[in-house]
Chains A and B, each alone.
Chain A
């Protein structure tokens, strides 16, 4: 016992702050859990005794439809993000010139750090009826009246995909850069056309990145808030907007707590569900 203590001289001092931080986080989540089972008193922040009523409320059609909408939008966002990010990631890793690779990195990654409010606000300017796209189309004579895009599901989707792309590009670029190029060269030497090399060698070898990236984006989009809030403008409701409405507008903390738990369970559940599949794909890619 003494020997192990001597070989780990800083254990206690280093452990204390992180244990405290973990405790604080668990306490915060514990509060959410606790509120989910309490009776809401309209007009008061004080909550009553134990109840399961808040969970039963989830099954009402209006809340169920928000849940289904959230899942649909998240799924579509993840898929479109994957399809648009793959070529960018591929170009980022495989472009011949060093300057071009750096330029692509800068263009694709910088948006990640400007913050969600700036990025969401930008889409209001792009999608609005006097915005960039409508003005451009009017100038080109493609439309006479502005197309409604802001405050629509389409607009929210367009903004969410752009929002998710930098992270997806990073994940995919890492996967593509780890592909052993000898495998591709071998296939090409055996007479496979470039497209065949891609579909039969490169893509399968990057499948672990593809699957885990897509699921991460799905989980993150489940918890997206500012995009549906500002680009959706109250016309497109996702679960995050409902939490905000219930929690900070109606002050119904118990129901807001139930909704934020649902979001947490779906986000964590989808990542946990897919983990075995990713492990299997990684093993298969390693066998190649």
Chain B
């Protein structure tokens, strides 16, 4: 075989493999969407018709309604607290040297490595110890810790890319440190902070394992309610909820790609 032919063959094989692997990654989501329109109570493939009844059931199911509301409450507080704490911490890490910095960085990034069930179980025990039980307070606390590393990283990257001359110029012109921070630094950090908040919000809304430990019936979030449903019923109601969530995330990714550039965010543009 001539080198040109074998290179051509290699390229065809490579792209076939990539297509098959991408199908493996994508097909489960497509199967969920198709199943969500199935008229049958039992799981069947391909669906024998078209129906929206599982969407009606999903949207009218009381447990999902309250779990969705709970999730929004938890996410609103958790993502916002994580944003405040994380932005302040990213600023400290980027700007100041202070005793205990390395230790604090290690502790606050460790929720990335510590299994979510260990974290969840720990907060369950802590909640019991503090007599908070499985209240919103303890659910929110767990979610803040779990999402904090992502906010810190996002804001930290923005700080690194910020031109320090701008702050120095404002200070030289007589602006107080508070003014420099609120009039120069914060506005420049807004995109990074918005990105961090959004990431924290998505992760909090979809977090399951730790939430299973720290929530009770009264405070359960949507993924926990979905899990409970899957264990009790086999009908495609969950497929309808899942399809809505898949649609929502896909739209979000398209918007993020349009306005922020996914490849740039993920640092995967070829040089």
Across the interface, do A18 and B21 meet the contact criterion of CB distance under 8 Å?
A: no
Inter-chain contacts of B262 with A (CB < 8 A): 102, 105-106, 109
Give B89's nearest chain A residue, CB to CB. A18
Is A65 an interface residue, CB under 8 A from the partner? no
Inter-chain contacts of B242 with A (CB < 8 A): 114, 117-118, 121-122
Known interface pairs A11-B96, A247-B213, A256-B121; A17-B84 also in contact (CB < 8 Å): yes
CB distance from A184 to the nearest CB of B (A): 12
Across the interface, do B253 and A113 meet the contact criterion of CB distance under 8 Å?
A: yes
8 Å CB contacts to A: which residues of B4-39?
A: 6-7, 10, 14-15, 17-18, 21-22, 24-29, 31-32, 35
Interface-centre pick from B7, B25, B96, B177 (highest chain A CB count, 10 A): B25
Known interface pairs A31-B122, A247-B121; A18-B110 also in contact (CB < 8 Å): no
Across the interface, do B125 and A170 meet the contact criterion of CB distance under 8 Å?
A: no
Known interface pairs A107-B25, A132-B27; A117-B227 also in contact (CB < 8 Å): yes
Inter-chain contacts of B129 with A (CB < 8 A): 31
CB distance from A199 to the nearest CB of B (A): 12
Across the interface, do A109 and B253 meet the contact criterion of CB distance under 8 Å?
A: yes
Give A178's nearest chain B residue, CB to CB. B271
Across the interface, do A114 and B113 meet the contact criterion of CB distance under 8 Å?
A: no
Interface-centre pick from A115, A219, A268 (highest chain B CB count, 10 A): A115
8 Å CB contacts to A: which residues of B179-218?
A: 181, 202, 205-209, 212-213
Inter-chain contacts of B148 with A (CB < 8 A): 21
Give B236's nearest chain A residue, CB to CB. A125
Across the interface, do B245 and A115 meet the contact criterion of CB distance under 8 Å?
A: yes
Is B118 an interface residue, CB under 8 A from the partner? yes
Give A24's nearest chain B residue, CB to CB. B141
Number of interface residues of A (CB under 8 A): 95
Across the interface, do B118 and A263 meet the contact criterion of CB distance under 8 Å?
A: yes
- Select A111's contact among B29, B257, B269, beta carbons within 8 Å: B29
Across the interface, do A271 and B113 meet the contact criterion of CB distance under 8 Å?
A: yes
Q: How many A-B residue pairs have CB under 8 A?
A: 282
Give B3's nearest chain A residue, CB to CB. A193
Across the interface, do B21 and A181 meet the contact criterion of CB distance under 8 Å?
A: no
Across the interface, do A267 and B32 meet the contact criterion of CB distance under 8 Å?
A: no
Number of interface residues of B (CB under 8 A): 94
Across the interface, do A125 and B239 meet the contact criterion of CB distance under 8 Å?
A: yes
A126 to B26 CA separation, bound complex (whole angstroms): 11
A125 to B114 CA separation, bound complex (whole angstroms): 30
Across the interface, do B92 and A222 meet the contact criterion of CB distance under 8 Å?
A: no
8 Å CB contacts to A: which residues of B66-117?
A: 84-86, 88-89, 91-92, 95-96, 98, 104, 107-108, 110-111, 113-117
- Select B118's contact among A9, A32, A123, A253, beta carbons within 8 Å: A32
Is B139 an interface residue, CB under 8 A from the partner? no
Inter-chain contacts of A19 with B (CB < 8 A): 104
Known interface pairs A87-B18, A135-B46, A226-B208; A114-B257 also in contact (CB < 8 Å): no
A122 to B35 CA separation, bound complex (whole angstroms): 10
Across the interface, do B245 and A114 meet the contact criterion of CB distance under 8 Å?
A: yes
A166 to B21 CA separation, bound complex (whole angstroms): 12
Inter-chain contacts of A274 with B (CB < 8 A): none
Across the interface, do A121 and B249 meet the contact criterion of CB distance under 8 Å?
A: no
A111 to B35 CA separation, bound complex (whole angstroms): 18
Contact string against B for A residues 152-169, beta-carbon threshold 8 Å, 1 for contact and 0 otherwise = 000000000010011000
CB distance from B54 to the nearest CB of A (A): 13
Across the interface, do B15 and A91 meet the contact criterion of CB distance under 8 Å?
A: yes
Across the interface, do B43 and A131 meet the contact criterion of CB distance under 8 Å?
A: yes
Is A26 an interface residue, CB under 8 A from the partner? yes
Across the interface, do A223 and B116 meet the contact criterion of CB distance under 8 Å?
A: yes
CB distance from A257 to the nearest CB of B (A): 7
A155 to B126 CA separation, bound complex (whole angstroms): 36
Known interface pairs A165-B25, A271-B113; A28-B126 also in contact (CB < 8 Å): yes
Inter-chain contacts of A288 with B (CB < 8 A): none
Across the interface, do A115 and B91 meet the contact criterion of CB distance under 8 Å?
A: no
CB distance from A287 to the nearest CB of B (A): 19
Give A17's nearest chain B residue, CB to CB. B85
Which residue numbers of B lie inside 8 Å of A, CB to CB?
Answer: 3, 6-7, 10, 14-15, 17-18, 21-22, 24-29, 31-32, 35, 42-46, 84-86, 88-89, 91-92, 95-96, 98, 104, 107-108, 110-111, 113-119, 121-126, 128-129, 141-142, 144-145, 148, 177-178, 181, 202, 205-209, 212-213, 223, 226-227, 230, 238-239, 241-242, 245-246, 249-250, 252-254, 257, 262-263, 266-271
Please list 27 pairs of residues, one from A and one from B, whose beta carbons are closer than 8 Å in the complex, sorted by A's number: A21-B85, A22-B104, A22-B108, A25-B108, A26-B107, A30-B122, A88-B21, A91-B18, A104-B22, A106-B250, A107-B25, A110-B29, A113-B253, A114-B249, A118-B206, A121-B238, A121-B239, A131-B43, A174-B266, A176-B270, A223-B114, A223-B117, A225-B116, A226-B227, A247-B121, A257-B125, A263-B117
Which residue numbers of A lie inside 8 Å of B, CB to CB?
Answer: 8-11, 13-15, 17-19, 21-22, 24-32, 35, 45, 84, 87-89, 91-94, 101-102, 104-111, 113-119, 121-126, 128, 130-132, 135-136, 162, 165-166, 170, 173-174, 176-178, 180-181, 193-195, 219, 222-223, 225-226, 230, 240, 243-244, 247-248, 253, 256-257, 260-261, 263-264, 267-268, 271
